[in-house]
Amino acid sequence: MRPRTRLLAALGLLSALAMGAGCSIDEPVGPSSPLPWHLRVRRSEVALLPCDSLPYARKTATIGPGGGTIKFGLQQLVVPAGALSQKVEITAEQVADAVVSVRFGPEGLRFAKPVALTLSYGRCLPIAGPKGVVYTDDQLDVLELIPSQDQPGGQVTGWIDHFSRYAVAF
């Protein structure tokens, strides 16, 4: 084959590959549902969602093996039946800050089943992309991404297994 013919053949092959790369496929090529928020991002890629400062709110309730719900400020904690083996006095706080941040006590309390923490970010900047719940330290440094589901209406629910401080991130 002559050099010019080889060049034209190679250009034709490259052209066909480029056109094929732009084609769409009618069948799904990945999972049918998106990966959970905490698996799609890395801790270093998240930032806390900036918000109007929420007023401080605090509520204390005793919850036992039968479970229960605590609503505090714009936030909610749902403890399912069986998550606790005995009655515990729980304190839930909506912290007054320029981010949605909550704190629980007794700190370090562990649950036998995941507990649903729903945080409202309706008063935050409308930043595109999924939101999630993050476990933070007292300085609001992100320590861990929590399995979360962003919901319509400006809320996100995360499933936590212990008490500490949590916030909304994007």
Which residue would you say has higher pLDDT here, 117 or 36?
117
Average pLDDT value for residue range 99-127: 95
Question: pLDDT at position 170, please?
Answer: 93
157 has which bridge partners? 118, 149
Q: What is the pLDDT, as a whole number, of residue 22?
A: 40
> Does the pLDDT at position 140 exceed 90?
yes
Strand partners, 110: 162
Q: Look up the CATH architecture of domain 47-169.
A: Sandwich (2.60)
| pLDDT higher than threshold 50 for residue 23 | no
- Looking at residue 45, its pLDDT comes to 83
User: Span 54-60, mean pLDDT?
Assistant: 95
pLDDT at residue 71, as a whole number: 98
Tally Cβ neighbours within 10 Å of residue 164. Answer: 18
Residues constituting the chain: 170
- What's the whole-model pTM score? 0.76
Name the residue ranges covered by the structural domains of the chain.
47-169
pLDDT tier at 109 (50, 70, 90 boundaries)? very high
The answer to whether 117 and 160 are in contact (CB under 8 A) is: yes
**What average pLDDT does the segment 85-109 reach?**
96
Q: Which neighbouring-strand residues pair with 95?
A: 101
